[in-house]
A and B are shown apart, each in its own frame.
Chain A
Amino acid sequence: MKRNIVIIGGGIAGMEAARALLDLGHTPILVEASKMLGGHVAFWHRLFPDMSSAKNLVGRLETEIAGSRILLNTKVLSLNRLADGYSLKLSNGSVVNASVLLISTGFSLFDARKKEEYGYGIYDRVITNSDLEAWFSGKRDARVPDNPESVGFVHCVGSRDLKACNAQCSKVCCATAIKQAIELKECFPYAKVYCFYMDLRFFGKKYEDFYINAQRDYGIRFIRGRVSEVGETIDGRLQLKAEDTLSGKPLKVQLDLLVLMSGIVKNDSIRELADMAGIETDSDGFLRSIDNEYAVIESNRPGIFYAGACTGPKTVPETVAEARSAALAIHSYLEKL
């Protein structure tokens, strides 16, 4: 059998893995369901903590993987397990046999409408982190006022939330909130910007510096308290309620714009594929690795590997590192066949 490698999902995990596999002398087939490569990152404006351009990253990867077979607008309809690999039926009518599958199907953003108390889709001035990135990229959005006096950010929307069925920390939102708060402050220097948080989790390199910058150089106010409800005032502004837990008092504030930090949640569209492939989902709903310490990129099935956020929330550098490591693992797997 031809030793095909099929990468399912053309976000930065799939792209970086394809690039590394090309380097190692393979010609992977990259299958992407949407019409473009880059996944979520393609819709992001700038990346933390260096504020580099997301489009440049995706563009660079696109050039570097030009030598692989890229199938856009293509879904995997069904998957059969063979004695020595997998047979995939694609939505373009073709059937591909592969020795190795790399699953890099990423995550979904939490649908903020499910937290009805925050009023996304109900009030005119409530947007999500991804809406704001689109606005930073130049997309018009009538919900963003011309000259807001005060703006609020709500951390942990749909993450660390058992009721929303997502117990996990979404990992990237604290730093994203700070990045976006700083960018907004640069657009509207006179606006008051508040971040409402339960905990601030700045685990990555230079994230804490980012936080200090936001406090010291941009005057962004951090309020420890989870927002309990948002309403609309008679003049179309937003009224927000939270507890100022550091002083132990209830708190309210009127805002011109509220940004909800929608969390990373599992991508349900791969559930069927996982069942067909015989790989399992973990207790958090993400794909199950052999273990979560030493073998995150390995599945319980021979020849099926993972990269990126299909196994849980990941940052860009973590995703890229996993993609490279998966490429190496695939390379040595094929050598041993």
Chain B
Amino acid sequence: MTDFGFTLSRSSTLDLQRVDEERFEQLCKLEKGASVCIGCGSCSATCPAGALSGMSLRKILLAVQRGQEVRTMLQCCMLCGKCTMVCPRGINTRNLILSICSIYD
């Protein structure tokens, strides 16, 4: 086929209807705290891996909620536990991360 140099852009729109929530629901069962995140970003701000690798627990949890891939980012976590210390909702972020790992394994 002749290549005219044009392509179709894929829409970046998130269709909530088609979001696969299965993994997020599974996660809420393993770690109740997953449902009470308020997206404040404290975890990501304090994360020592964040500045160097782009690791962000807030983004990871949001991606799980939206049914998206998280493995690459998860690998950067060192389980240091600073995020547990700062979370205002008292989420057991260590268990949250390990639970996400087990679901995405």
Residues of chain A having any CB pair with chain B under 8 Å: 150, 194, 200, 212, 215-216, 219, 221, 223-224, 244, 246-247, 249-254
Contacts and interface: CB of A to CB of B under 8 A. Distances in A.
Interface in B26-44: 28, 32, 35-36, 38-39
Majority SS at the chain B contact face: helix
Given A244-B66, A253-B17, 19 more contacts: A200-B38, A216-B35, A219-B28, A219-B35, A224-B39, A246-B58, A247-B59, A247-B63, A247-B66, A249-B12, A249-B14, A250-B13, A250-B14, A251-B13, A251-B15, A251-B16, A252-B14, A253-B15, A253-B16
Given A246-B62, A247-B62, A247-B66, A252 B39 contact: no
Contacts of A194: 16
Contacts of A216: 32, 35-36
Contacts of A150: 17
Contacts, number: 43
Given A215-B36, A219-B35, A246-B39, A252 B12 contact: no
- What's the interface size class on B, roughly? 10 to 19
Contacts of A200: 38
A250 B11 CA distance: 9
A69 B16 CA distance: 56
B62 A252 contact: no
Contacts of B28: 219
A234 to B, nearest CB: 15
Contact of B35 (A215, A251, A252, A253): A215
30 contacts: A150-B17, A200-B38, A215-B35, A215-B36, A216-B32, A216-B36, A219-B28, A219-B35, A221-B65, A224-B39, A244-B14, A246-B39, A246-B58, A246-B62, A247-B14, A247-B59, A247-B62, A247-B63, A247-B66, A249-B13, A250-B13, A250-B14, A251-B13, A251-B15, A251-B16, A252-B13, A253-B15, A253-B16, A253-B17, A254-B17
